[in-house]
Amino acid sequence: MAYCYEEPSRTFNEYLLVPGYSSKDCIPANVDLSAPLVKHRAGEKASLRSNIPLVSAIMQAVSDDRMAVALAKEGGVSFIYASQSIENQAAMIRRVKDHKAGFVRSDSNIRPDQTLQDVLDLKAKSGHSTIAVTEDGTADGKIVGIVTGRDYRESRTPLDTKVEAFMTPFEDLIYAEDGVSLSEANDILWDHKLNALPIIDKSRRLTHFVFRKDYDSHKENPDELLDEQKRYIVGAGVNTRDYRERIPALVEAGADVLCIDSSEGFTEWQQETLAFVRSRYGGKVKIGAGNVVDKEGFRFLAEAGADFVKVGIGGGSICITREQKGIGRGQASAVMDVAEARREYLERTGYYVPICSDGGIVYDYHMTLALAMGADFIMLGRYFARFDESPTARLNVNGNYVKEYWGEGSNRARNWQRYDMGGEDKLSFEEGVDSYVPYAGPLKANVNQSLGKMKSTMCNCGVTNIPDLHRNTKLTLVSATSIVEGGAHDVILKEPGGSMNR
């Protein structure tokens, strides 16, 4: 008969953290949430680290270039989704790397022969009032002027007025040449009391804008995650089908870390993909693999050359793999088992291979539990899909704002490569659903709140960093009765407005 684990397959909801002694220095302001993203020798620092232990999932509904920039500003990493053409994915990577810190590629551009109506339509679509006027209307065209809200009056300027008639022409613009430092650009902004400073190259082509508002934003993001050239760190997903073409293109585009995107990672296909990376790039290109749920799966991928291992099968909110195929494992059990294998591998080889927990997060405190159980960082899909910066549409459904969210295993994603088992180029059946998630607003406010809870919980446990959380915290299983006890009970709850529930 098949081998059967003696312990049940457990979820995060079945555990609580037990408080430990907290010294006076154990306060949220002193908590360090940085984490290694890639393999490194024991006692040494990883070559690539995140400043917060959160990464966004390799999903169409979650991780594009806009999400990557927003999350990097907070200290985390996005993995740009792989279920698109190689060219499109590489272009997203380049946009993130070109964004720099404080330098923004123009996403609102217009030709001089267009009209005020076109300006208003573009403003409504992008939400931006500063519009670059270029000869061909592209982001990197030859600049001929700029339009801001001060250049026209909607109530008095005819809508068919040509842009060239009311724009601020190039001759009157204050600009900086490509190669200017961010500090120098900000000085020009302040000296000339500007809201936006165009950056142009020697051919008079627009390369970036520097905005006054981003000066304050830069100061507000002390944890932003940058490479040696002060560009945002970004990851990318790859599959086990076209990796020979996709990986070189993504590396060329500037991806800092890759991850094989698959529902199940204990396969020869992943072994071959990792072997390709190691034979072509050695250790220069960083790539994670997964997903696995036990010790054997971890050892297989670690020995195959994975820089980190992703843990979790069937625990995502839109994943129905367990229902469809009957495979998987409770996320808490999976993380703890793999963490034990990671410890054994470290003792045997002297190398630490980080663990990424992927799936099973329902409440914010589950994030801290995942870290306490051994994860170094957490991959989240539903969590990030709710924010303004995710690529999906915000809709009003039955009076409530929601955002669309679908799984990579759904027919909508058309991502058969993620579930490839050597068959036809199509999904045999769905392993994900198409859904909505409640709209939650901007990423920054929500992430800061979640991290605030995490820091507070860690202080309750008497630790101020993730390695100490791994070593020095205690967990307890909870009964169904204690779960009820943990919430509000035996009271009459008030409505938000103050009236009582009936």
Q: Is 459 a catalytic residue?
A: no
Active-site residue, from 259, 299, 319, 461? 319
Three-state SS for 131? strand
Q: Which two tokens stand for residue 245?
A: 């073409």
- At residue 216's C-alpha, the angle toward residues 213 and 220, to 5°, is 135
Give the per-residue pLDDT at 415. 56
Number of H helices, E strands in the chain: 16, 24
**8-state DSSP, 94:** H
The answer to whether 142 touches 135, Cβ cutoff 8 Å, is yes
Q: Which residue has the tokens 């650009």?
A: 185
- pLDDT by position in tens, the chain (length 502): 888 888 899 999 999 999 999 999 999 999 999 999 999 999 999 999 999 999 999 999 999 999 999 999 999 999 999 999 999 999 999 999 987 667 777 878 999 999 999 999 888 777 778 899 999 999 889 999 999 888 898 888 899 999 999 999 999 999 999 888 878 888 898 888 888 899 999 989 998 888 876 666 666 788 999 998 888 999 999 999 999 999 999 999 999 999 999 888 999 999 999 999 999 999 999 999 999 999 999 999 999 999 999 999 977 766 766 666 678 899 999 999 999 999 999 999 999 999 999 999 999 999 999 999 999 999 999 999 999 999 988 888 889 999 988 876 656 545 545 555 555 555 444 566 677 899 999 999 999 999 999 999 999 999 999 999 999 999 999 988 777 777 777 788 887 654 433 3
**Residue-level pLDDT at 171:** 92
Judge whether 319 counts as a catalytic residue. Answer: yes
Please report the DSSP string for 180-194 in residue order.
--HHHHHHHHHHTT-
pLDDT of residue 499: 42
Q: How far does the chain reach from its first CA to its final CA, in angstroms? A: 55
Selected catalytic residue, list 66, 94, 418, 459: 418
- Cα separations in angstroms, 414 against 148, 149, 290: 41, 42, 20
Q: 440 by DSSP, 3-state: which?
A: coil
- Say which residue the tokens 């985390």 belong to: 76
Buried b (16+ CB within 10 A) or exposed e, 76-100: bbbbbbbbbebeebbebbbbbbbbb
Q: How many CB atoms lie within 10 A of CB 111?
A: 17
Whole-angstrom distance, CA of residue 216 vs CA of residue 472: 38
DSSP state of 346: H
- Check: CB of residue 501 under 8 Å from CB of residue 492: yes
